[in-house]
């Protein structure tokens, strides 16, 4: 996949991501040995065409997946003032701050962050490690506090996020996010659909996608039985795309988050 940036004088920057067209016509970034072989083949073609061997060198590095797990320190607690406060069902001491490598929609490695319950911290890092290895794209991965703790703003920004001490929409019950036991993945490609309501609104074009395992969908959209569903099922989590009354395609969560509440 070649991305070009142009101004009035022509191309001013280029970025090449080795990929293969997968089922449904979607380009999937290559990783590991497949990526190395693609880079080598490109360089052979460049030498044959006299275009120089240094083209594409910016894409040569493919960082290994990295993840870290830390308790919530004082500075981070202050930063999380919009997502955690008095009355939340879990204390900060039961939450963990994760930093994980992910691939953006251009196939580039980026460092993301997330907060989840300590019980699930290691499993979540493993799940995202599987997504990274497979080239599964994530638009961005920031704390919801970067959006003022506003779930609507975070979804509209296509932000993949975890903990947020909030109620279920339209109810008094705590959301699984309030326990650090849920994650929303690529909300624009995977909106929450209930009746005629679609959240975020900019996800409406993806609200009625056929999410059968063999159906073509946009990159980053989750289908039944696909990797994000399977990876989080290993934690005992369920996918909101399989709910009956509504479909929360972005949502993966523990089946009994109430059991994590402070006693």
- pLDDT of 40-92, one tens digit each? 777 667 666 766 544 343 334 679 999 999 999 999 999 999 999 999 999 99
Region 155-179: mean pLDDT is 92
Instruction: Judge if 156 and 216 occupy the same domain.
Output: yes
Instruction: Judge if 55 and 152 occupy the same domain.
Output: no
Q: 173 lies in which domain range?
A: 67-260
Instruction: Judge if 180 and 203 occupy the same domain.
Output: yes
- Omega within 30 of 0 (cis) for the link into 200: yes
C-alpha distances (whole Å) from 119 to each of 84, 246, 260 are 18, 28, 9
Instruction: Judge if 107 and 203 occupy the same domain.
Output: yes
Instruction: Judge if 82 and 51 occupy the same domain.
Output: no
Instruction: Judge if 230 and 126 occupy the same domain.
Output: yes
Which residues is 112 bridged to in the sheet?
100
Domain count, the chain: 2
The pLDDT, as a whole number, for residue 90 is 96
Comparing C-alpha atoms, which of 185, 226, 216, 230 is closest to residue 203?
185
Instruction: Judge if 171 and 122 occupy the same domain.
Output: yes
% of the chain exceeding 90 in pLDDT: 68
Instruction: Judge if 144 and 188 occupy the same domain.
Output: yes
pTM of this structure: 0.77
Instruction: Judge if 37 and 157 occupy the same domain.
Output: no
Instruction: Judge if 252 and 154 occupy the same domain.
Output: yes
Q: Is 232 helix (H, G, I), strand (E, B) or coil?
A: helix
Contacts of 171 (CB under 8 A, 6+ apart): none
The pLDDT, as a whole number, for residue 56 is 40
Region 158-168: mean pLDDT is 95
Instruction: Judge if 102 and 201 occupy the same domain.
Output: yes
């Amino acid at each position: 996949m070649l991305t070009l940036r142009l101004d009035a004088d022509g191309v001013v920057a280029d970025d090449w991501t080795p990929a293969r067209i997968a089922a449904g016509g979607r380009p999937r970034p290559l990783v590991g040995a497949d990526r190395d072989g693609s880079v080598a083949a490109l360089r052979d073609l460049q030498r044959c065409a006299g275009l120089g061997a240094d083209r594409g060198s910016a894409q040569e590095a493919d960082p290994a997946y990295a993840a870290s797990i830390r308790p919530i320190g004082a500075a981070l607690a202050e930063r999380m003032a919009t997502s955690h406060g008095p009355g939340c069902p879990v204390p900060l001491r039961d939450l963990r701050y994760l930093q994980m490598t992910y691939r953006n929609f251009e196939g580039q490695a980026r460092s993301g962050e997330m907060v989840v319950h300590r019980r699930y911290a290691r499993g979540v890092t493993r799940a995202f490690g599987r997504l990274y290895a497979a080239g599964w794209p994530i638009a961005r991965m920031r704390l919801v506090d970067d959006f003022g703790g506003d779930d609507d703003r975070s979804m509209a920004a296509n932000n993949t996020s975890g903990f947020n001490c909030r109620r279920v929409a339209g109810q008094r019950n705590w959301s699984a996010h309030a326990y650090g036991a849920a994650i929303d993945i690529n909300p624009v490609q995977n909106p929450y659909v209930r009746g005629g309501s679609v959240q975020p609104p900019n996800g409406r074009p993806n609200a009625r996608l056929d999410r059968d395992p063999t159906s073509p969908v946009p990159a980053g959209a989750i289908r039944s039985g696909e990797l994000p569903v399977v990876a989080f099922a290993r934690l005992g989590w369920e996918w909101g795309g399989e709910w009956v009354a509504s479909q929360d395609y972005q949502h993966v969560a523990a089946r009994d988050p109430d059991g994590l509440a402070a006693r």
